[in-house]
Structure 1
Amino acid sequence: MDGIKRREAAIRSVTKSLPGGQVTYVDIKKFYDSISPEVATQSWQRFCDRNIIATPVPELGLKIIQNHAQETAGKSILTGPMFSHFVANLVLHDIDKIAEDLPSYYVRYVDDITLIGSEESNDASLTAIRSLLGKIDLALHDDKEKTFSLNCAEWESAASHIVANKHEGSWKKLVGNIKKCMIFFPDQVEALTHKLSEAGYRLPLSDYSLAVTETNSFQKIRSIGLWQWLLFRTESNVVQLILDSASVLADDYETDVFEILAEINQASTFLRKRLVSQIRYRLGRLMYLSSLSVLERLRVASIGVPELMFHTSIIEALVTRDCSKVVSLGVKVAQATAQLFRAAGMLAEFSEPVSTEAQIQGLATFIANGVQIGEAIFDAQHPILKIAIDGVDKDMLSREDSFIHELACLHGIGAPRHAATLNSAFDLADKISLDALDFDDGYYL
C-alpha cells in the first residue's frame, strides 16, 4: 500500500506542472510467468556481484531459481513467493536506470508503468520501453484495459474524486483495541467474544492467553506502547467502546459503498478503477461488520460491477451458506470465506460436488480452519483432504507427490491441529489476521 501511495504522489508532483500533458498507463504482460530462469539468474548474479554479497547467499538464491525452473518446466520463476517479487524487481532494475533518460517522466510499481509527458514524448518512451523489454523476452499489454492514456487535468480530477474516509485510522484503532483488550483484560475476553457475536460481527479473535502468561507487565506495555496502554486502561467499559466503534464504522462504510455504487457506471474508465478500489476497501471490512441482510443488499447493488466478483461471491456464500462457488475461486478466496464462517460459527454447505483440484484445496482450507461441513459430496481419501481431516501418518511422509510430501513434513505425524494453530497467538507481536482484507492490495483508499 505504501508503494501505491508513493506512486500516486510521484505522478501528482508532475501532473500539476504539466496541465496540458498526458498520463499513460501500461502493464507488462504475464510478468512473472514471462521471467525466464536464465534472465532471473543473470539479474540475481549481477545484484550479488554489485553489492559484494557473501557466500552462501548467492548460491542459495541460484538454488531457489533452479527449484522454480523445475516446477515450471524451465519456463519461468514462480508467481507468489517473496523471493520471486525480489528477483522480478531486479530484472527491471536495469530498465529503471535506463528509463531515467526517457523523454517522459517514468514511474514503475511492480509491473505497472506510468509515463507523464506530452503525447509525443510518451509514444517515444513506450517505443523505447518495448524495445528494452523485448531484449529480456518481456512485452507490454496492448489491450485498452491494461494500456490507456488520459490528460493530466483529467487525472488530477479523478485523483481528487475520493469518497472521504471519515474514519481512516479507526479500522486500525478498532482492531488494535480488540487486541489490547485480549492482552490487558483477559477476564473480559469471554464477554467481548459473546457481545461481538451477539451483535452479528464476524471478527476472528486469536487466543493470546499463552503469550500473555509468558510475558511480564513491562513487556506488555513496551509491545503496545506506554501512552496507548495508559489511555486504554482509563476506559471504564472496554467492551462497549469496541462495540460502539464497530457500529460507527459499519454505518459509515455502508453509506459510502451505496453512494459510490450509485455513480460508478457513469464514471470514466480511469475514475471507475479508483471507485472500484474504494468499494473493495470498504467491502472487505463490511464482511466482518455488516449484518447478513445489509450484505445481501450490497451484493445485489454490486451485480453490475464485475470487478467486485470475489467480494460478492464471498458475501453470497455468507448469506446462503452455499460455498460451492468460493472453493472454485482459489485458496485465497476460500481462506477469506472460511475465516468468516469460523468466526461466525456457521455451517458450510455445498450444493455441487467438490471434485476439481481447486475445489478440493478450497474445501481442505475450510476444514483446516475448523469450519463445520454440512451437505457435501467429496472424496475423503484425497491426500489433501486426508491431511485436513485425519492429520498425517507415516505413509504421507513417503508420498511421491512433492506438494503432499512437503505438506506432510511441515505438519508432522499426528492428528490435525490446523484450527488450534490458526486460533492461537504465540507472541504479543502476532497480528489479528483478517484475510478478506488481502483483496485490498494495491487499491486506492
Structure 2
Amino acid sequence: MISEKLLHFIWLYRYFQHQSLHTVQGEVVEILHPGIWNQDGQGPDFQEARIRIGSTLWVGDVEIHVRSSDWYRHQHAADVHYQKLILHVVYEQDLADEDSLLQRFSCVELKGRISRSMIRQYEAWMQQLQPVVCAGSLTGPADVPQLIWTSWKERLLAERWEEDKGRRIRQWLHHTQEDWEEVAYILTARSFGMNRNADMFEALAVHTPRRLFARNRHIPGATAALLFGQAGLLRGRFRDDYPRYLQQLYAALQYKYRLHPLDPSGWQWKRLRPANFPTIRLAQLAALMEQSVHLFSRWLEASTVEDLRSLLQVKLPDYWQQHYRFDVPVEQTFGHHDSPSGRSLTSAISAIGKDMMDHLILNAIAPLVWWYGKLRLRDDLQQKAMDWMQALPPEHNQIIRMWKQHAIPALHAADSQALYQLYQQYCLHRRCLTCAIGHHLLRKAYATS
C-alpha cells in the first residue's frame, strides 16, 4: 500500500493522471493550485489550494489520506483545524456512500491514477537498509543531469551554513550585540579546537575577550600568556624559561583584570596527533591574534583563497619548534626516533600549516562572510564565500569516501560539505521526497510508466 508521505509528494507535483478528474460524488475537478505543503504536523496537509469543483472555484485546505476511513482514525472529525477543508484526497475510498464525511466534503480517489513504478521505486527505497537508499539508481552522475546536481549541492551548502553554522553564528551575534569581530574571533578559536577540543576553545574565547589582547599588545607575549593562562595550562612549576615567563606575565594580568581560568581537565589530549595538541593550537591562535585583532575586516577585504592563506601566515615562537607541550622536548613526545606522521623530531611546529588554514577558511571564515552577506543583502559577499569553498580541496572522511564509491566524487570543499549535508540531513532520515535527487529519480519512474 502507498504511504501517505508519497501521496503528499504526488499531489504537490501532480504526478498522477489528473485529466478527466472527478470527485467520488461525480463532480468535475480542476486543480488550479495544489496548495502550500504544510509540514509542521498540525492542521490540513495543504493550505491555500485553489480548486474548481463543478462550476465553483474554491480556495482553502486539502487533506490527504491513504484511505477515507483514516479521517476518523486520525480523529479529524471534531478538530477545528479542518473547518476550511475544500477537498479530501484519498488513494482509496473505503467508506459507505451514505457516510456523513462524503456528504460534508468533496472527495477525490487517486487509485488507478498513480504510476505503479513510482510506488514500487519509493517502497524499495524505504525497505533498504543502507543509508543511501537510491544508491542502486546512481551508477554515476549521468543518472541525474549535472545542472540538477550543481544547483542542489549549492543549495545544500547554503542550507548547511544556515542550519548548522547559522545557529552558532546567530547565537554569538546576539550575545555580542552584533560585534562581528568578536564573533570572528570566537569562531576562529572554536575551529582551532578541531572536533575534540572545539567546545573548550570556544569557552576559552568567551572567557578571554578580544579587547584584552588589544589593551596589552605593547607587552611581548601577552596574548599567549592570556590564552594559555585562561586555558588553565600555566599552573604548577615549569623548568623552561618560556612557560615560566608566560606564567609570571599571566599572574600579573590575571590580578589586573580579575580573570578566572578554565578547568584544564576539560582539554582532550588522547588519540590526537601532536600537531593537534591544545598547546600547539593555542600557540597558533595567539600568534594569529597578535598579528591582528581585526580578523573579520581583513576577511571581508580578501578576494581569493590565497589572500586568506596569506592572512593566516604567522610565525610561532621558537620554543614550539622544539616542543609540543611545555617542558617536554619533542623527542620525548614519542619516545623513539620518528613521529607517527613521519615529521622529523628535530622540529615541531613553526607556523600554521596549509591544511589548518583551509580548515579555518572552511569552518569559520567562509560561513561567517556568507552570513554577513546574507544579513546585509550583499550577494557579492555570499558568492565570494561560495567561490572560496570551490577553490579549497575536498575533505577526506568516511562519508566522502562512501559517496565516491557511489560514483559521486567531491571535486572541492563546497562539494564535500554539500554531500555531508545530503547524507546527514536527508539520506539518514529518508527524506527522499524533499531531496532534488530523489525527486528526479521518482519523476523518471513516473515518466517511464
Q: TM-score, normalised by structure 1?
A: 0.20
The structure richer in helix per residue is: 1
The structure richer in strand per residue is: 2
Q: TM-score, normalised by structure 2?
A: 0.20
If you compute each CA radius of gyration, which structure gives the higher value, 1 or 2? Answer: 2
